[in-house]
Amino acid sequence: MYYHENNTDYITLRTKQPITAVYGGKSLWADCGPRKTEVRKIRLFIEGVDLSIRKKPWSTATLGQQLYVGIHAFIPKRMWDTSKYGLIYTDDRWEREFRAGLKLSFPVLKAIQSVGYTEQGQQGDDYVSLDGSICGMKKMRDFADAIEAGDILDDMLAEADEEEERGFK
């Protein structure tokens, strides 16, 4: 079960059962041994869309039609204080465990593929910054509708169509 809050810039999801991910002690930016963390709140950002359809010369498969999603996973300071421990960023174990827990806690997010850390400068004091993508128009549409962001996707698709038309003139 989760709580959903919609904002013009982001969507906040909260879960009653925390996503548990253990920091494995292998980050380039943290200085401590293994440590359990819990995430009860995530923020989603629809960052952009790529509609370019490119065909491989030897195949009928197409590439493109991707929706890019930003994810902020909030961790309570009592569990992870960045001023004391550093950044979780680059720890493989935490990333793997969070990714698995994210899809269990929020089934609507199963469409997001390749969830991984964003760059170091995007990490926050109270959240871990990650991103992922959704491939295929149907999955993109289903995802946007499920999180009540269909209007955001529609605007991005219209803008991408306009850019593509300008590129062909």
3-state SS assignment for residue 121 = helix
Copy the structure tokens of residue 10.
Answer: 């982001």
Copy the structure tokens of residue 165.
Answer: 């038309």
Q: What's the CA gap between 28 and 94, in Å, rounded?
A: 13
Q: What is the DSSP letter of 147?
A: T
3-state SS assignment for residue 151 = helix
All structural domains of the chain with their residue ranges: 2-168
How many angstroms separate the Cα of 102 from the Cα of each of 14, 93, 98, 106, 116? 11, 14, 6, 6, 12
Using one digit for the tens of pLDDT, what is the confidence trace for 44-91? Answer: 988 888 776 555 555 555 556 888 999 999 999 999 999 999 999 999
Task: Report the Cα 156 to chain-centroid distance in Å.
Answer: 17
Strands 2-6 and 113-117: unpaired
Using one digit for the tens of pLDDT, what is the confidence trace for 106-144? Answer: 888 888 988 999 999 999 999 999 999 998 888 988 888
